[in-house]
Amino acid sequence: MVADVQPPDPDELTELYRAFVQPIIFDGVPEGQEQPTLLMLGAQPGAGKSRATGRLLAEYDDMAALTGDDLRIFHPRYRDLTVNQPEQAGGVLVEATRGWVRAALDEALTSRRSLLLEGTFGDPDVTLATAARFQQAGFRVRIVAIASPRVLSLVSAASRYLRDRKLGHPARFTRLSAHDRGYDGTTRLIETVGSANPVDRISIISRNGQTLFDAPHDSAEGFETATTALEEGRHPDSWGARSTMELLGELKQITGYAIASGRLSPEVAELLDAAHEQALREVVPKLSVASDSPQARFIQQAVTEQLIALRRAADDRNGPEVAADLTQDVAPAQIEIR
């Protein structure tokens, strides 16, 4: 918890929900729908859920949208926290938004309004329990998971944060542990949902909106191939050379900014370090040039040297123990220049 920040009074949170949150979510969405739908959209932070929300809402008439992160703006100290203490703000803001999300879910259920709920699928048990609750109330339940490569969402999450910091905007910081909880939780959910009854339909979509899997629970295909679709959609095998170089270029820019600006906290260093490791494992070996070509060796060396510079800067700024934490699980082959 951020020092000297007290949680808002429960009565104040209730008033804020009624005055701001509830109207934004539900205004214009009719009550008493004959067969409403709960659409649960999820993936790790940085996977592209916001873009997917717009595309999915276009498939339905009269559906409300609920995203916990978007509700943070209604916290009384939102701007102060996200501008001045963004790496610590999440834990404070979630205390308010968690209650608002519960209230909105209860309202959608009792008023029988269709709802798109966006989240990270960090806890599959909670996701399935929510699905069961709505299905028992007569809702159709659809789960949509975004298959985004881990390296891409890591870079996206870090880039979003650092660019907002550079501009002095409210910034949303994603810790590596939170990112990977969403990534791994999505995997567990899709693996589990094949044998779970509370889901009527499951869809796997790519980051750019391509449908990789889509089937109702009672189809001949079932949900068994959904996990395969998720795994395949997460591999950057189909990336072109331009997309690959854009990713590596973005990683270089945000790393250079984090080092030069003094914003390389241990948490930011951990996030960027993981992105570099993943790039060296997944992206660089799959370049559209021969792996033993001068171009491939140059790119591998450039990314490796960038990772070394990142770790040295983290060592200088945060102490040797931080650099040790960043390197303890890295095999020499991962950063060896061949």
Query: What HEC string does the chain produce?
Result: CCCCCCCCCHHHHHHHHHHHHHHHHHCCCCCCCCCCEEEEEECCCCCCHHHHHHHHHCCCCCEEEEEHHHHHHHCCCHHHHHHHCHHHHHHHHHHHHHHHHHHHHHHHHHHCCEEEEEECCCCHHHHHHHHHHHHHCCCEEEEEEEECCHHHHHHHHHHHHHHHHHHCCCCCCCCHHHHHHHHHHHHHHHHHHCCCCCCCEEEEEECCCCEEEEEECCCCCCCCCHHHHHHHHCCHHHCCHHHHHHHHHHHHHHHHHHHHHCCCCHHHHHHHHHHHHHHHHHHHHHCCCCCCCHHHHHHHHHHHHHHHHHHHHHHHHHCHHHHHHHHCCCCHHHHCCC
Confidence at 335, pLDDT banded by 50, 70, 90: very low
Q: Is residue 189 part of a domain?
A: yes
Q: Is residue 50 part of a domain?
A: yes
Q: Is residue 22 part of a domain?
A: yes
195 plus 255 within the same structural domain: no
175 plus 241 within the same structural domain: no
The CA distance from 255 to 163, in Å, is 11
Percent residues over pLDDT 70 in the chain: 86
Whole-number pLDDT of residue 329? 39
Instruction: Compare 302 and 8 and report the one with higher pLDDT.
Output: 302
Four-CA torsion 8, 9, 11, 16, nearest 10 degrees: -10
140 plus 34 within the same structural domain: yes
Q: Domain ends where: 234, 252, 271? A: 234
Residue 296 has pLDDT above 50, yes or no: yes
Whole-number pLDDT of residue 334? 33
Q: pLDDT tens, 65-109?
A: 999 999 999 988 889 999 999 998 888 888 888 999 999 999 999
77 plus 218 within the same structural domain: yes
Residue 31 has pLDDT above 50, yes or no: yes
118 plus 247 within the same structural domain: no
- What is the number of structural domains in the chain? 2
Whole-number pLDDT of residue 274? 97
83 plus 196 within the same structural domain: yes
Q: Is residue 5 part of a domain?
A: no
Residue 261 has pLDDT above 70, yes or no: yes
Q: What is the CATH number of the domain that holds 155?
A: 3.40.50.300
188 plus 265 within the same structural domain: no
Residue 177 has pLDDT above 80, yes or no: yes
Q: Is the dihedral of CA 210, 278, 291, 307 positive or negative?
A: positive
Interval 280-289 mean pLDDT: 78
Residue 110 has pLDDT above 90, yes or no: yes
Mention every residue, 6+ apart, whose C-beta is less than 8 A from residue 270.
175, 176, 325, 326
Whole-number pLDDT of residue 100? 93
Q: Is residue 58 part of a domain?
A: yes
Q: Domain ends where: 234, 268, 297? A: 234
Whole-number pLDDT of residue 269? 97
246 plus 207 within the same structural domain: no
Whole-number pLDDT of residue 328? 40
168 plus 291 within the same structural domain: no
159 plus 297 within the same structural domain: no
101 plus 135 within the same structural domain: yes
Round the average pLDDT of the chain to a whole number and report it: 87
Q: Is residue 3 part of a domain?
A: no
Interval 13-25 mean pLDDT: 92
Instruction: Compare 195 and 83 and report the one with higher pLDDT.
Output: 83
Q: Domain ends where: 234, 254, 275? A: 234
Q: pLDDT tens, 133-153?
A: 999 999 999 999 999 999 999
Confidence at 295, pLDDT banded by 50, 70, 90: confident
As a whole number of Å, the end-to-end CA separation of the chain is 45
Whole-number pLDDT of residue 12? 87
285 plus 168 within the same structural domain: no
Residue-number span of the structural domain to which 215 is assigned: 10-234
Q: Is residue 2 part of a domain?
A: no
| Residue 173: both structure tokens together | 């910081």
Q: pLDDT tens, 156-171?
A: 999 999 999 999 999 9
Q: Is residue 290 part of a domain?
A: yes
